[in-house]
Structure 1
Amino acid sequence: MGLVGRHELRSLSAHLSRWQKIALGFAISLFLIYATAPYDGSLRAFFRFQHSVAQNYYQGQHPSDGWLYRRQRYPLDADKDIGLIIKTGYGTKHRMPLALRALSNESFFADVLVVQDFPVIPEQKQYNLTNGKAVDIVDILGWNLKRGALKGREHLERIYKYKNLADAVEAEEWVLSEGLGKAIGWELDAMKFLPALEYAWNTLPKKKWYVMLDDDTYVIKNTLSLLLGHLNFGQPHYLGNPVGDYKGRFPHGGSSVILSGATLRNLFEWHPEIVAEANLESPFAIWGDKLLSTTLMKVAIYLDETYRRFFNGEHPWMTRLWADRLCLPIMGFHGLGERQIMEQVGEVFKDPKGPVLWSSVAKIYGVPDYQKFIDVPIRPNMNYVGRLDEQVTMVENVARAEDCFDICDGHSTVCMAWVYDPAIKRCDLAPWAILGDLADGRFSGVNGKLGKRLVERCHGPS
């Protein structure tokens, strides 16, 4: 630093009070501690979490969708620029043809890799999309073992379980295989995430984006194209539906996880030693999506919660239509394990003409619009709140359903739906609404005034 710089610092210091100097010194010390802290350390995690909380609160108070329909700086062709990685297991392998057919229905013909936890059996050597495009299949745990990524871990219980399943499948002992697959599927799934991404990076043509999903998850092509066209695939991006506390924030795997090509290059080409450590940790991991997140933290790539409102972890009828995301496109649905549900979703969203907004899900499934809830606000034997959690406000000793409706109407900015149980005289208020569930003896409704006001503010494609 030159004489002028030192002089300016002395001059600034002379004009500061004692307490200002202490505050400045504390701020500088805090910055230095943060800057030198490990990327995956508790200090950085704490500050990132607090920033996400503040950001989430602001976005909730000031929802915005206009930016989505401005010119895209990074437009993409979803079929060419996105690689899909679908995880399945022996106990759920029957879902794969249905999941691929559902994707094909919306003309989503990307390169697809199916990763599983058992050897590829003869009749399963290849799946195809409906346009004839081949889908690769790999026993990802067998591949990871064969290449030595789990060297020294072969004696562990989870590895023995995989080998027992593999032996049963190869011996064509189908009853035993089915039992093992259902019993240990969740344990083996935790070991798939990192090797699946690495296999995709090494074998698929290089992609701008990679999307990992479960075999009971459905993603909407138009939403992917609309969102990702605004993000620079040349920068590390890691997107999803956040769960967990500040010590281990990670995206819910069933809601789908999105990573840019730059993220995979950073991890698998520039930091193979970090990947090697994570592979050795995988036989102990409870959640593979969390292991992926903590591994990326070590290379300074963190879950970006800015786009959390696009992601959904429920099937359509239990999807929570939050007040702060009605104008945004929905990424897809999860929990479609039953044959008829996946088939139905594939047909309902076949050949979409434009973005599928959260607010349009109700219309697509024939639920009355907000004006009809204004006209007839109380519906018997229905529940538009669904599953309760800590964000539901419970009001006790409410005499009538009409009183419950009035309470919701009085909370016109935070109550999206209400349900009243006359047996216990309780009124539950939620900041979301579901499409509606049958509930004998209860009364429920949707805040039509709030919903109508919110959707009237939505933008859309020009």
Structure 2
Amino acid sequence: MQHPSQHPVVIGDPDLGVKIMEFENEDDFLLQQRRSPTPRQRMRALLRQMRYGPLGRLRNALFFLGTLLIFGWIMLPYDNVVRLGLRFNVKKFQHYLNSHPVEKWLFAPPAYPVDLGTDTVVIVKTGYGTRIRANAWFEALSASNEFRDFLIIADYASKPGQEANNHGTPLLIHNVVNQTLSSLGPAASLSNSRVAKYLRFAEAIENGKQEEADQLAKSTGWEIDALKFISGLELAYSKFPNKKWYLLVDDDTYLVQPSLKPLLAHLDSEVPYYLGNAVGDFRVRFAHGGSGIILSQGAMSSLILDNPHAVRNAHLESLSETWGDRLLARTLIRAGVYLDEEYSHLFSGEPPWWAKIRPDRFCSPIITFHGLGQPEKMHQAGESFRNVSKPLLWSDIWDVYGMSRPWRQSTLTEDELAKPIEYANWDHAGGSGGEVAVVEGVEKAEECGRKCYERGNECMAWTWEKETRRCNLSPWMIVGERVEGKVSGPNGKLARELEMVCLKY
């Protein structure tokens, strides 16, 4: 009879037919147990633990959850509120990490060389109620203007002899509202109030009732404006299908070409870019139309060629949408094209003298100005920027308007620069309330200036009102204008620090 110690010992699971290790007898098995495991055995044991132990089960669960989230993200529509909310917060966090961008590409060799004359088309959006602005827009172009192709879109069509004038060249004004209504067919019925208002307005123009047409344009022009955006872009793409860039501007928007060109040369036009001054909440972040909108060839082809259903829906929504620029953004989102907010700080929604120069854009170029609705204001902007031949930084606006930068005075020591710089009867803060902090009961202008300096990076300029003893502390500074009874000044110390960053690059 065999001694128990002589019985063979098998390590494994006989029921499953798995044999990991076999010993001739128990003595060999006990001897093996007394020996320390080899590195290879340790690794095998660790791998088994990772695969079948608690950590392994956790890993598998996380992998499954991650796969599920990725699949769910891919399947979500582009305009889903979850997708939009997450994207908005990620972009907001990225902006926080890069709150003082420096555009190193500005003076770098162009990655994608661009010719403004052959590679772009400028779409100027006007209307019957603002028709006097169209000629002023072209008159403001400098002698060094590089743009060659233009398309004027409106809510009326120019008659022979009444075209816009581009330095002697007549340009047709295209009625894209009619194009929108034609594309809708029976959907654009008189039962829709916006359609009824437009048809009454168009009839007044057709019958030569200018006074009535002007009155109707004044009361309904904003509603009708929403009907121009999508059809205007469709018309532009049909006439200029091979352009790299499409620039949509209002008739009171000024384009700074020396700043625009390096931006376009930095970006690949085949990528779907949608650029502009970002406004709106997370559900629809859109480029403010008045500040100018830039669309690449990639974005236009995605919208016009690849997503005709989204375009069709946009025409329908234009019958009720308040803002055409928001409608455009919503349509682009459905085509998978989102507003790229990395360049939003390059666009201004104000005229030059009211452009808000913030710390986060001090060294950045400025591409557009808005709010130049009076022809003389547009002419003034054109004259002011006529000799600008290199990229214009936000801080350069001071030089263009003939105001020396006090923080540049080499004779000022750091201590002297830390004292308030005062300009009587002027306003560099740009109003009060909102983001502008208001301190009541400040007795002297110098005291107001010190309060600004004490706030550090949070105050770019201050204005003291003599009559009310109110001190306005602004997170931006503007060139401003003459205002009786106010004393104002920039935060010279902060401005010098920011300018040193500009000079570094």
- Asked if these proteins are the same fold (TM beyond 0.5), I'd say yes
Superposition map of 1:291-306 within 5 A: 291-306=327-342
The residue number in structure 2 matching 1:142 is 178
Number of matched pairs: 451
User: What displacement does 1:396 show?
Assistant: 3.9
2: CA distance, partners of 1:216 / 1:246: 28
| C-alpha distance in 2 between matches for 1:343 and 1:109 | 18
Matched residue SS, 1:394: strand
**Runs of 4 or more above 6 Å deviation:** 7-10, 17-25
CA change 1:258–1:376 in 2 (3 A) is: same
Aligned residue runs from structure 1 range 73-92, under 5 A: 73-92=111-130
Structure 2 length as normaliser, TM-score?
0.83
Which residue is 1:256 aligned to? 292
For the aligned residues, what is the CA RMSD?
Answer: 2.5
Distance of 2:451 and 2:318 partners within structure 1: 49
> In 2, distance between residues paired with 1:216 and 1:10?
70
CA distance in 2, matches of 1:19, 1:434: 57
After superposition, what is the alpha-carbon deviation per residue over 1:30-53, rounded to whole angstroms, capped at 9, x for unaligned? 444333221101001101111221
Matched residue type, 2:211? V
2:189 to 143, 147, 154: 154
The runs of 5 or more residues in structure 1 that have no matched partner are: 1-6
Residue 143 and residue 406 in structure 1: after superposition, are their counterparts in 2 closer, same or farther (change >3 A)? Answer: same
> In terms of mean alpha carbon deviation, does 105-114 or 259-268 score higher?
105-114
Residues 51 and 57 of structure 2 are in contact (CA less than 8 Å); yes or no, is this contact kept in structure 1? no
The CA distance in 1 between the partners of 2:222 and 2:381, in whole Å, is: 25
Structure 2 residue 249 is matched with structure 1 residue 213: yes
Residue 320 (structure 1) aligns with = 356
Q: Percent identity over the alignment?
A: 37
The verdict on how the C-alpha distance between 1:388 and 1:36 changes in structure 2, with shifts beyond 3 A counting, is farther
For 1:240 and 1:173, the matched residues in 2 are separated by 38
The 5 Å alignment of 1:59-98 reads 59-60=98-99, 62-98=100-136
Deviation per CA, 1:385-428: give whole Å up to 9, x if none.
Answer: 11345322333443432222112112222211012235444322
Q: 1:387 to 1:19 in 2, by over 3 A?
A: farther
Distance 1:216 1:254, change over 3 A: same
1:412 aligned residue: 456
Q: Are residues 23 and 429 of structure 1, via their aligned partners in 2, closer, same or farther at CA, if it must alter by over 3 Å?
A: farther
1:8, CA displacement in angstroms?
8.0
Deviation at 1:209, TM superposition (A): 0.3
What are the within-5 Å matches in structure 2 for residues 341-360 of structure 1?
341-360=377-396
Structure 2: 5+ residue stretches without partners: 1-45
1:4 corresponds in structure 2 to: none
2:210 aligned partner, one-letter code:
W
1:185 aligns with 2:221: yes
Q: Which residue in 1 is equivalent to 2:435?
A: 391
Structure-1 separation of matches of 2:143 and 2:343: 26
Query: Are positions 1:58 and 2:97 aligned together?
Result: yes
Bigger CA drift: 171-180 or 392-401? 392-401
Residue 437 of structure 1: aligned partner: 481
Contact 2:420 2:446 in 1 (8 A): no
Measure, in 1, the Cα distance between the counterparts of 2:74 and 2:445: 56
Alignment of 1:361 with 2:405, yes or no, is: no
Residue 40 of structure 1 is matched in structure 2 by: 79
Q: Could you tell me which amino acid in structure 1 is paired with residue 81 of structure 2?
A: S
The equivalent residue for 2:272 is 236
Deviates more, 1:437-446 or 1:220-229: 437-446
Between 391-400 and 348-357, report the one with greater CA deviation.
391-400
Q: Secondary structure at the match of 1:108?
A: coil
1:428 aligned counterpart, secondary structure: strand
Match of 1:3 in 2: none
Q: Deviations over 1:424-458 (max 9, x none)?
A: 44322222101123333332210111112212221
How far the C-alpha of 1:133 sits from its partner, in A, is 5.0
TM-score norm. by structure 1 comes to 0.91
The 1:441–1:26 alpha-carbon spacing in structure 2 relative to 1, beyond 3 Å, is farther
1:108 aligns with 2:109: no
CA distance in 1: counterparts of 2:438 and 2:85, whole angstroms = 31
